[in-house]
Structure 1
Amino acid sequence: MKIILRKLKTFFTNIENQIAFYPSIIAVLGVLFAFIMIYLENLGASKYFRNNIPLLVLDNADTARALLGVFIGGLISLMVFSFSMVMVLLNQASNSFSPRILPGLISNRRHQLVLGLYIATLLYCIFILVSIEPTADKDKIPGFSVLISIFLTVFCLAAFVYFIHSISQSIQINNILENIYDSSKSRLNKLIDAQNGNPVVFPETEQWKKYNSNRSGYLQTIAMDALIEIASEHKTKFKILVAKGNFILDGVPLLLSEKELDEKVAKEALSTFIFAKGELIHNNYVLAFKQITEITVKAMSPGINDPGTALNAIDYLTELLALRMLKKDTNIYTKDDTPIVYETSISFKELLYNVMASIRLYCKHDIIIIQKLMVMFKYLQYQHCVDKSYKESIVHEIKTLAREASSSLSNQSDKDVLNNYLKGFDINLGNGS
């Protein structure tokens, strides 16, 4: 039962971020609301309002059909235009910035709710139109339901204005970077708050039993509470061999266990690993570094040539790296002060190298970007960190960047600027340091 519930949770997590998820749910609610209104009409809702508040109820079947027909045609046009606009802007964002940002834009709840409102109102109007009987009896005309459709259509027009404003704002690079930064910052703060302040030693794992993945996909997240419960129940310890965010192939070693597990328990332990075909920042903060780095590289590519965007992206990278320096490289989960699960994660050194390796390739010839990176490193050197090796990694990246920039810069004035920054770090490349 636990495995089934976990699979249902995984399925819901995967489809929740699809662009059609919330619109589909709201559309179903629109249909249900239409049937409720038809039921109320059969009970005499319109007749009641016609007798007490006649201004709220239409008493002409032809007028009701005409209004609903106009609403249906207008909403279809509105919906087609909105979906077309979303597709065009997503294509533009992919070409100008990075394809990795598309899942974040598609999963925007506000846009999904607006599109869902269009569809729900459209379906509501269709069902109310069909329910109008070809009779001259005023009591059979769903005048009150038609009035509701008028309010819903006006609300859709207001939502359309909001949609135009929101989609035009969300596609701007500053807002994209801000959303990526906020999601990653939130995830990092949770990890920093959850980490154990005291050093924890995990036992050697050379003789432990190895268990392979039984499916493929991106390791999106891990149901850690369930895995800890399994380890505690069967008096064993686990070591997770793969970091979250990596693409896992079927049959690749995924988990080590201190004790050998029977087939049922092993299957239950492997079911705590939640896979997906995409990546989400709120589950894996490393993806934010990948996205911001790709935006920086894309901005500095010859086809885009937008150093201003690259400078903005580096500012966000600086803040995220400073926050990452407060997190330990090792994630060890304990129960009753006993280490029970070791989670492999990307180290600060590896993270910084992956970020700088891409940026150096496209930015080493631009002294403005080099200056910005040097300012970033200077800031990071003064930040508090939980491991002294982080500062050593920063110095190593400064030297690597300086060497590549020095060989790429042809102007002596640019080289002098670079050397002035290196003096501030007390680094002299001339002696091979």
Structure 2
Amino acid sequence: MTFAADAGPGASLTPVLTRRWASPRSWSIETYRQLDGYQALRSALTVDPDRLIELVKNSGLRGRGGAGFPTGLKWSFLPKGGSKPHYLVINADEGEPGTCKDIPLMMADPHSLIEGCIITSYAIRAPFCAIYIRGEAVHAIRRVAAAVREAKAAGFLGRDILGSGYDLEIVVHGGAGAYICGEETALLDSLEGRRGQPRLKPPFPAVEGLYASPTVVNNVETIASVPIIVMGGSDWYRSLGTEKSPGPKIYSLSGHVTRPGQYEAPMGTTLRQLLASAGGMRDGIPLKFFTPGGSSTPIFTPEHLDVPLSFDDVAAAGSMLGTTALMCFNETVSVPWAVWKWLEFYKHESCGKCTPCREGTGWLVQILRRVVTGHGTLEDLDTMVDAAGNIAGRSFCALGDAAATPILSSFKYFRSEFEDLVTGRTPPVVDHRQLAGAH
């Protein structure tokens, strides 16, 4: 697990998170153990759980699921003592457009997740862990479940793990295919057998989570990072990436890229550097806009190619790092068309619990349909901005914000494209007769 001596944003590195992905039968416990697998667990079980929490705190690891909250700090929120058990829940409900890093990780190296789950559960004193995987990801569910069985057969799970006296059970749960279940409290409701809808907070999951007990909810990539921190130490981990966003990261490049896929690089790497590794934009057609972290993050333009892809640097530039899902669109793409497709997704996935999101996404889709078919008006554009502004910050969970983001950020950089469509300066991007047939 060594990086180049000059490791920093964009530096050449020996992969850590993805180091086993290209190995024969990388998903098997045999391959995992040949490449240092479960060595971190052996070390972790010899120290006090609170020291592990402190280690992760000191490492600066921030959640890889989108929000970037300090992981060790989240663990420390669980109340000490009390009569209720502690639980660990893994959010593997990867469903946002453009986000595609966790399923490849679970397919290629599921034992890194399992080892991370065991260490984390030990650190937070949890006897039970649930891995909630998106229902459509059938192959990932089967692979992770097989890894759990392998780990249990090898003595890394179950009762008295490695003679430590610590007991842990892990359950792999297939979700019901709803994007809203990526929201941690909706995931908990779904895991308990109820309809997936966000809960009112407070209380937060750290106080009342799964079965009303103290619960840590973490992303797949976050937990898969824990064993490498235990093996390398917090200082080593902090030497990678940036000061406020340390460590390696899996960046997902999709869209008009010559070689789309998963690219591991230190936090703070730029899209320009990632595109160089990915062979540049496909067919040589220049980049027009991109999302730094999936469809719920404000879009960027070519002027942001050199923004370091870290939580704070991206925020300072006016967007969010999110899940580092870099959807790259070339100059052939209509921005209103892309925004319309994203809004169709958010309308479909709204759980309907709150009025701003339930009603607002529907109205935005109706207006966008008029715009992309050439039947919109300038008043429609003002209405869209007003409606998006009333959804953002006023919905029950972040899905409303995610739906408003494409509208507000695209108008910031490309309002003229919307105006050209409604004034007839450019032809419709969608034939209204085809649209009528589709609906």
How high is the TM-score relative to the length of structure 1?
A: 0.29
From the CA coordinates, give the structure whose radius of gyration is larger.
1
How high is the TM-score relative to the length of structure 2?
A: 0.29
